[in-house]
A and B are shown apart, each in its own frame.
Chain A
Amino acid sequence: MNFWEYLVNRHQQLLTDAYQHASVVFQCMVVATALGVLIGVVTYRSEWAGNLATTTTATVLTVPALALIGLLIPLVGLGVPPTVIALTLYGLLPVVRNAIVGLRGVDPALVDAATGIGMSRPSRLLRIELPLAWPPILTGIRVSTQMLMGIAAIAAYASGPGLGNVIFRGLASLGSANALNQVLAGTLGIVILALLFDAAYVLIGRLTIPRGIRA
């Protein structure tokens, strides 16, 4: 069976895996974004807290994905929970770092002006600082997503969902007829998904970054 015949033959299974892969990455990204921005907002004003947040999330990233998932299995069991936890943790770093950098990068004169015309702290954050920090935050989300696309494949090790299953199956049966096709299909699928997500982010950027600060 050549690669094309394999695809046609298994498209149902592949599409389901791809959908699950995209779905888990998307959901983890939503959680990571919310958490990451929140951590950024809480910590950016203090030198010390901001650095702590960045360092902690950076440390998480240095733990090999396989090891982290492996460590999580005894704690939360197999399947979806370790996948979601691992992906969310990995997704945090770029979001947290860019949120802090972005919020700290807002021109102090603007913050001064906002305070001076009578904006309370929450409304200053919501109306001035976060909108101005949004482009770097979005870049962080974009980088995170690309990273999670790859890492999500490893989730199959803990019986997680996604295209990783196809790849692992292929790797486990190397030498058999479809082994190479499986690995190839899984990898290509992830690359295509990553490209689609990236295109979506470009579109989101167009729609959400105010015209006045668009590069």
Chain B
Amino acid sequence: MPETGDHGASIELESLTKRYPGSAQPAVDNVSMEIKAGEVVVFVGPSGCGKSTTLKMINRLIEPTGGRIRIGGEDVTDMDPVKLRRKVGYAIQSAGLFPHMTVAQNIGIVPRMLGWPRARIKERTEELLDLVGLDPGEFQGRYPRRLSGGQQQRVGVARALAADPPVLLMDEPFGAVDPITRDHLQDELIRLQHELHKTIVFVTHDFDEAIKIGDRIAVLRERSHIAQFDTPEAILTNPADDFVSGFVGAGAALKRLNLTRVRDVEITDYPTVTVDDPLQQIFNELRTSGSNEILLLDRRGRPYKWLRRGDLMRARGSLARAGTLVNDTVTRDATLRDALEAVLTDNAGRVAVTGRRGEYTGVVDMETLMNSVHEMLEADRLDALEHQHELQSLRASQTHAEQEGAAGPAGVGGPGGER
């Protein structure tokens, strides 16, 4: 893909503050965080916690009243905001497409402002439509009102990516679409990010969305105070305080299953035979294998039937009539939650795992699932403890520094005792 190679840039927020005139409390109070290049960071928190305000300060749609913003190491706090915004993609809820422009015009608007030649804009538009999964020929000339909500959102993302900005800000972009479409769009975004490696800051109030999309999640409470800033795994297994655990909600262990793929856990090997094997061999296999069940594969190596001891006898040696058909399989890319679902609904508590072309690669059952979940949670717990320890020592040194400073001329230190 002819990308201009402009991959993500890091974002640093340094004691970012927004104070509106006439209100005693700042809307965003002293937020500092570092977002690495190519990382997806999700701001999640209750409505009115200032997460959107914090996001809008990154492209200075809202001018901060204090603090610095650095993108890719460059201080952008005082740069011309119009120039800054052309380097930072921006996608919002319900897409915000301009209704009087066609899809192509909407996508091409930033490149046009940047003075790209017409042919290059056209090429870029088509490339982007392809990228977000819309057929350029069909959609280019359409007006936004003739698109579904999901399609509009895709165009919105394409528009945000048009000039290939290293940073992409997304303000509850999937908030206004139905759950099924939202799920698709989230998957698409994850796929896109695999190709593009942008630095994405994503705002949502939906914690499940945050878990799914984020490399790291910043759980924000009122005035945008960071309650916890960590990987989804760590937040799920070790929420920093009651506020975070309240936000994570019930079923953290189940949500944790969403974060691990079948390929990441141990899958057991099952004795298998194929439909082309002679009956005698199948009999032998059934007798010699430890388990009382073997998996019958079809000619292309895909799981076909479960054969129990005695099934063949009852069917009088006919493979066509013996055993039970495999009605559910999971792929290696499926989440453990999908796998658990399949195991739970299977009458014998196991499910076959398939590769990319549906070929058999192994089996997961209840026992392997339980074991791997336990291992996983234990590892997470250790990680999170380590992170917390680091955070504490960092805070300790900060407090120390503040106290040192307070000894000098009137310390500027904010309310440090908050957390």
Contact surface of A with B, Cβ cutoff 8 Å:
109-110, 112-120, 123, 127-128, 131-132, 210-213
Contact = CB atoms under 8 A, between A and B. Distances in A.
A24 B116 CA distance: 45
B381 to A, nearest CB: 40
Given A112-B61, A112-B92, A212-B143, A117 B100 contact: no
B273 to A, nearest CB: 60
Contacts of A213: 99-100
A110 B96 CA distance: 5
Best-surrounded residue of B94, B96, B110 (most CB of chain A within 10 A):
B96
Contacts of A212: 99-102, 143-145
B83 interface: yes
B90 interface: yes
B96 A109 contact: yes
B92 A116 contact: yes
B82 interface: yes
Contacts of A115: 61, 85
A186 to B, nearest CB: 42
Contacts of A128: 98
B189 interface: no
Given A117-B109, A123-B113, A127-B109, 6 more contacts: A109-B94, A110-B98, A118-B82, A128-B98, A210-B101, A212-B144
Contacts of B97: 113
Interface of B: 59, 61, 82-86, 89-90, 92-94, 96-102, 109-110, 113, 143-145, 159-160, 169
Given A113-B90, A213-B100, A118 B85 contact: yes
Given A109-B93, A112-B61, A212-B144, A117 B98 contact: no
A133 to B, nearest CB: 10
Contact of B92 (A113, A120, A127): A113
Nearest to A209: B100
A152 B140 CA distance: 48
Nearest to B103: A212
A120 B86 CA distance: 10
12 contacts: A109-B92, A113-B90, A113-B92, A118-B82, A119-B109, A119-B113, A123-B113, A128-B98, A132-B99, A210-B101, A212-B100, A213-B100
B85 A116 contact: yes
A4 B341 CA distance: 90
Contacts of B94: 109
Nearest to A210: B100
Contacts of B89: 117
A171 to B, nearest CB: 48
Contacts of A119: 82, 109, 113
A167 to B, nearest CB: 43
Nearest to B90: A116
B86 A118 contact: yes
Given A132-B100, A210-B101, A117 B143 contact: no
Contacts of A114: 98
B85 A117 contact: yes
B80 to A, nearest CB: 9
Contacts of A112: 61, 92, 96
Given A211-B143, A212-B144, A212-B145, A116 B98 contact: no
Contacts of A123: 113
The 3 closest A-B pairs by CB, nearest first: A113-B96, A212-B143, A118-B85
B83 A118 contact: yes
Contacts of B143: 210-212
A123 B98 CA distance: 14
A158 to B, nearest CB: 43
Nearest to A114: B98
B34 to A, nearest CB: 23
B50 to A, nearest CB: 17
A86 to B, nearest CB: 35
Contacts of B90: 113, 116-117
A16 B89 CA distance: 60
Nearest to A116: B90
A119 B90 CA distance: 12
A101 B390 CA distance: 57
Contacts of B99: 110, 132, 212-213
